[in-house]
């Protein structure tokens, strides 16, 4: 084992900010886009500090806002490198919202940002490896590999769906959907 390598917990990076009314949407809750912007910032800081090179965001997985964040909540974005490839790495981000008045802390979502390191000439730069020292590190690293496999399967399946697209069959398959096919020669139109 290379004792020089960092463990995932060595990469921990946190951004905390109080949610003020300027970040709210018309429904009075915090804009999802504002939270995404905070997530992108912490992913950048975590990845770039670890890689020692400028990192760009390539892909974002697992963004689901299942619980609203309110004005007055103290939001923390807890980021950690979960996976290292050749020039890419994956930062897991746990979003926590703390409400002082109602005295509770909620975990609103966990998302995964894939970042790629670039050198000064803009070419892909190798990232250091990770030293996995507990089963949680191992689980997170393995889950990234599983998500990569599932995404490859999803991409191939979507390509097959496009290649096999037949407008008559597809129009007929939408009978139970909340739409009307209004194309001359197809469906009810």
Ligand X SMILES: CC(C)(COP(=O)(O)OP(=O)(O)OC[C@H]1O[C@@H](n2cnc3c(N)ncnc32)[C@H](O)[C@@H]1OP(=O)(O)O)[C@@H](O)C(=O)NCCC(=O)NCCS
Instruction: Using CB under 6 A, list all residues that contact ligand X.
Output: 56-59, 85-88, 114, 116, 124
Residue closest to ligand X (Cβ):
85
Q: Which of residues 19 and 47 has its CB atom nearest to ligand X in the complex?
A: 47
**C-alpha–C-alpha distance, residues 175 and 169, integer Å:** 11
Note whether 74 and 18 are within 8 A (CB): yes
Q: How far is the CB of 35 from ligand X (least distance, A)?
A: 16
Q: How far is the CB of 127 from ligand X (least distance, A)?
A: 7
78, β-bridge pairs? 14, 94
Q: Which of residues 54 and 65 has its CB atom nearest to ligand X in the complex?
A: 54
As separate numbers, helices (DSSP H) first and strands (DSSP E) second, the chain gives: 3, 5
Q: How far is the CB of 85 from ligand X (least distance, A)?
A: 2
Q: How far is the CB of 73 from ligand X (least distance, A)?
A: 27
Note whether 92 and 110 are within 8 A (CB): yes
């Amino acid at each position: 084992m290379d004792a020089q390598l960092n463990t995932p917990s060595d990469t921990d990076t946190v951004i905390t900010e109080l949610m003020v009314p300027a970040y709210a949407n018309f429904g009075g809750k915090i804009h999802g886009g504002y939270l995404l912007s905070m997530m992108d910032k912490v992913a950048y800081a975590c990845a770039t500090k670890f890689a020692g090179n400028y990192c760009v965001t390539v892909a974002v997985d697992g963004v689901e806002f299942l619980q609203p964040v309110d004005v007055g909540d103290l939001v923390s974005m807890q980021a950690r490198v979960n996976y290292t490839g050749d020039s890419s790495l994956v930062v897991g981000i746990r979003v926590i919202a703390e409400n002082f008045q109602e005295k509770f802390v909620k975990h609103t979502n966990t998302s995964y940002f894939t970042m790629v390191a670039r050198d000064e000439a803009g070419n892909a730069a190798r990232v250091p490896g990770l030293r996995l020292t507990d089963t949680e590190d191992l689980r997170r690293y393995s889950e990234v590999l599983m998500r990569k496999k599932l995404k490859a399967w999803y991409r191939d399946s979507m390509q097959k769906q496009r290649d096999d697209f037949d407008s008559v069959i597809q129009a007929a398959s939408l009978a139970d959907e909340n739409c009307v096919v209004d194309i001359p020669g197809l469906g009810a139109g």
